[in-house]
Amino acid sequence: MKNKHYKTIDPEIWKGRIDDEEDYLAFRWHQIIQSIDLLETPKKPLKGFGLLGFCCDKGVERNLGRKGTSKAPNSIRKEMANLPCSFPKGTNIYDCGNIVSNEAELEEVQNVLSDAVYQMLKMGLFPLILGGGHEIAYGHYIGIERYLAEKENQELGIFNLDAHFDMRPYKNGPSSGTMFAQIADRCKINAKDFSYMVAGIQQYGNTVSLFNKADELGVKYLMAKDISNDNMFSVGQDLVRFARQQQNIYMTLCSDVISSAYAPGVSAPQPFGLHPEMILKLIKTVIQSGKVISFDIAEVSPRFDEDNRTSKLAAIIVFAVINSLVEFGSASDCIC
């Protein structure tokens, strides 16, 4: 991994109130977070969750979106600091630092991210990657793919919560709107199945050509208008059916899938997006499969946020992911 694009975390970010210094039941995240350096080999395998920031919005810029996502990782961390430790004592959360883009091209930073994800998985960590633009998905996927290539169960499915397919042509270069087209082509070259499901698609946010491409590639998708409490049983069946067909699942969430009433600070606000409670139901349903091995959240843009609402929502989503993984036994290796 190229260290010029990697920085360990500033401990000053993890500050917050302290209710008690001895009673774990009163602890908050900032009291248990451990900082590690991915450039150093640990003395023994780690067990736990690893936070890694992807401070990059070059893909958003190429996609002609609203820049600002590079500031999200640390903004989300600050909202995480005072979250309660509602998981069992012995659950480790490590802060693995940030990938920073500096003046590098997008492709170079994605390569560094893939190396970091691979390293985290090798260390025994469950990666929780904080974006950054949704271009995070390509580097993240490649890192998992590399890790699984050394395992028996190599197949990897993608579950995406997103208003967009992100399968635009990339002949003029990749962006935050091309990652899954890139992955589809990569799967074809490597003679692997392209297994991709996306929930929250907006008809007004995708061209007819993108819908056609999704159909041609066998992409499973759920429209935002069809996801509601009234038909949650049917939606849940679709998710369970998809999960059963996978050996491993990479879960990614683009914050623009959420209604702008709750997530105003995103690259592409969605007035008809999903309610946060519905997002959590979808996430928990897939996690119950026991096959989710990595997660990221993208497109939070603090410069457009209001009262840090979107960063706080992102922090709570990560909080729910960790607690769900522990609750459903999907992350037994993450507890020492």
Residue range 47-60, pLDDT digits in tens: 999 999 999 999 99
| Confidence (pLDDT) at 331 | 53
Does the pLDDT value for residue 43 go beyond 80?
no
Amino acid at 206: N
The answer to whether 240 and 290 are in contact (CB under 8 A) is: no
Phi, psi of 22 (to 5 degrees): -125, -35
Distance CA 271, CA 263 (A): 10
| Confidence (pLDDT) at 80 | 98
Q: Is the dihedral of CA 68, 70, 71, 76 positive or negative?
A: positive
Q: What pTM, to 2 d.p., does this model score?
A: 0.96
Distance CA 46, CA 196 (A): 30
Does the pLDDT value for residue 154 go beyond 90?
no
The answer to whether 88 and 98 are in contact (CB under 8 A) is: no
Neighbouring CB atoms inside 10 A of 9's CB total 22
Q: How confident is the model at residue 336 (pLDDT cuts 50, 70, 90)?
A: very low
| Confidence (pLDDT) at 330 | 61
Does the pLDDT value for residue 87 go beyond 70?
yes
Q: How far is CA 21 from CA 13, 24, 32, 79, 86, in A?
A: 19, 8, 11, 20, 16
Residue range 161-217, pLDDT digits in tens: 999 999 999 999 999 999 999 999 999 999 999 999 999 999 999 999 999 999 999
Amino acid at 199: A
Instruction: Give the chain's mean pLDDT.
Output: 95
Q: Which domains does the chain show, CATH number per domain?
A: 3-334 (3.40.800.10)
Q: How confident is the model at residue 75 (pLDDT cuts 50, 70, 90)?
A: very high
Distance CA 48, CA 88 (A): 12
Kindly state the average pLDDT of the residues 317-324: 98
The answer to whether 283 and 161 are in contact (CB under 8 A) is: yes
Does the pLDDT value for residue 61 go beyond 80?
yes
Distance CA 39, CA 6 (A): 9
Does the pLDDT value for residue 2 go beyond 70?
no
